[in-house]
Structure 1
Amino acid sequence: METTTSVDGTVIAFEQAGEGAPVVIVGGAFSKAADGAALAAALADVGFRAITVDRRGRGASGDKRGSTPDDEADDLVAVIEAVGGDAIVLGHSSGAILALYAASRGAPIRTLFLSEPPFHFGVGEPDPGLADRLQRLVDEGRSADAVITFQLEAVELPREMVDAIRQSDAFPGLVAVAQSTVYDARLSAQLSTPPVGMLSVSQPVTILRGEQTFPLLVAAADRLAEEMDAAELVIVPESVMHRPDPVATARVIRQRA
């Protein structure tokens, strides 16, 4: 992996695949660069240079206790500068919130693609104290409990699904990035309703969602498209239950970038 250094000195790791205009992929909760590999390959197949990122507190990237959404926005800028100075950005889930926030702060983003951002717009708002509770659990050595709490309260997964994940081979990998749940919870609480600056970014914006996904995400994508005058909403039938289909998503980006 390659690395760059963010404003606060945190090392951020990323990988590149393909040749052409750069597309930086910003994943959601728990995701690491490796989780974007299939999407990166699909983008490379249609002529892009795809960049997958380990957000801070994950994988090969560093971390700094008390990190804020501003720090993560700075991380994205550092990656963009490392791969050429401006880029197309595809954010998924909380990564879409982060990408839009970074754009509102002046990040050198050419075009934005926002995949199922979990904005609340005042409905079922997340607990503003969740990030602090998660941090206490991590500090107490209860990282598994932090993961479970985040899944139940932030993602709102059913208890039976959370129990099944806990018994799966994937669970240790989630526990390893438990600190990142604090940052995702803080990001989602601070920006659960996008402020005017985020709704009025200058870049072209395409909002993506599947036909079959969680109701919150349908409502969020549709409302965001209504609130942003220049944004286009694209429904991707191949993307199901908050999982962006790599080939279909790459096709949409190729058509609109």
Structure 2
Amino acid sequence: MPEFVRSADGTQIAFERAGSGDPVIVIGGAFNTRSSPYPLVTLLAEHFTVFTYDRRGKGDSPETHPYAVEREIEDLAALVAVAGGAAGVYGHSSGAILAIEAAAAGAHVTRLAVYEPPYTADPEHPAPADDLGLQAALDAGDPATAATLFLRITGMDDAAVGFITSAPFWPGLVHLAPTLPHELALTADGVPPVGRLAAITAPTLALAGGRSPAWAARAAEAVASSVADGSVLTVPGQDHDVDQTVLAPLLAEFFLGR
């Protein structure tokens, strides 16, 4: 059963904790709930007290309108308070951007690890952000189309989209489609916010998969070079859907300060 913490606007945020030791908060990206980052949580719980939570609008955490990135930063700050007032934070994909924004806004993050924050803008070929009609599909009561459009926004080809939309887990993804505008708001124009990144003083590890598109390595480099104490780690053989059993020991070493 989840525990709950009240965020600054009154929204009840559902979370779970596992293990013992220094606190580490794990933040998922699109289509993720607090149950998604397994076996990562189990492996990290051998060393840390690991917190996972349902971002607002997902799982057991209700949506509160209007949405704003600032409300999600407050949610994370509330969880940091539950963890003891300071915590290590790991974020994946748009969850990585949330972790970055929270750290830049002054959340008490002791160490920050991010895997492929989707700063996908190509400085040599800039293009305006386009939701491909995702919000219109949601407004029309068609979450399946919205979820499909989001997959295409991420760059998936027809074969990958076809595989996911025919998979047994597809209805669960469709159920989370109303939260996809949250992910787009976090990603914004896909340009790394260098000015805000400069405010982050916590040791920061930016990871990218060795098999990922060029934007992933570019994003990791931008994060690491913009914060006060940053480093980059390429994870060989991995892409955006990183193998959590490969990732876990790398994060453990970082959060242990080794």
Assess same fold via TM > 0.5: yes
1:165 partner amino acid = I
Relative to the length of structure 2, the TM-score reads 0.90
Contact 1:127 1:189 in 2 (8 A): no
Report the secondary structure of 1:152's partner residue.
helix
Residues 119 and 145 of structure 1: is their aligned pair in 2 closer, same or farther, counting only changes over 3 Å? Answer: same
The residue correspondences of 1:1-257 to structure 2 (distance < 5 A) are 1-45=2-46, 47-123=47-123, 127-128=128-129, 130=131, 133-153=133-153, 155-189=154-188, 192-237=191-236, 240-257=238-255
Relative to the length of structure 1, the TM-score reads 0.90
Stretch of structure 1 that moved more, 87-96 or 77-86: 77-86
- Paired with 1:121 and 1:200, the residues of 2 have a C-alpha distance of 22
Structure number having the greater helix percentage: 1
TM-superposed deviation, 1:62: 0.9
- Paired with 1:190 and 1:99, the residues of 2 have a C-alpha distance of 17
Contact 1:97 1:191 in 2 (8 A): no
Map Cα deviations across residues 199-236 of structure 1 (whole Å, 9 max, x no partner).
33111101112212232212211333233352011122
1:39 partner amino acid = L
TM-superposed deviation, 1:251: 2.0
Stretch of structure 1 that moved more, 76-85 or 118-127: 118-127
Report the secondary structure of 2:37's partner residue.
helix
Contact 1:27 1:91 in 2 (8 A): yes
Contact 2:197 2:223 in 1 (8 A): no
1:235 partner amino acid = T
TM-superposed deviation, 1:175: 0.8
Residues 201 and 120 of structure 1: is their aligned pair in 2 closer, same or farther, counting only changes over 3 Å? Answer: same
- Paired with 2:26 and 2:112, the residues of 1 have a C-alpha distance of 11
TM-superposed deviation, 1:122: 5.0
Map Cα deviations across residues 16-38 of structure 1 (whole Å, 9 max, x no partner).
11011111000111111111121
Q: Let me know the Cα RMSD of the aligned residues.
A: 2.0
TM-superposed deviation, 1:96: 0.7
- Paired with 2:99 and 2:114, the residues of 1 have a C-alpha distance of 8
Q: How many residues align?
A: 253
1:88 partner amino acid = G
TM-superposed deviation, 1:50: 0.9
Report the secondary structure of 1:130's partner residue.
coil
Map Cα deviations across residues 20-59 of structure 1 (whole Å, 9 max, x no partner).
11110001111111111211001012x1111111111111
Residues 113 and 175 of structure 1: is their aligned pair in 2 closer, same or farther, counting only changes over 3 Å? Answer: same
Residues 167 and 246 of structure 1: is their aligned pair in 2 closer, same or farther, counting only changes over 3 Å? Answer: closer
Stretch of structure 1 that moved more, 160-169 or 107-116: 160-169
- Residue segments in structure 1 that go unaligned for 5+ positions in a row: none
Stretch of structure 1 that moved more, 167-176 or 184-193: 184-193
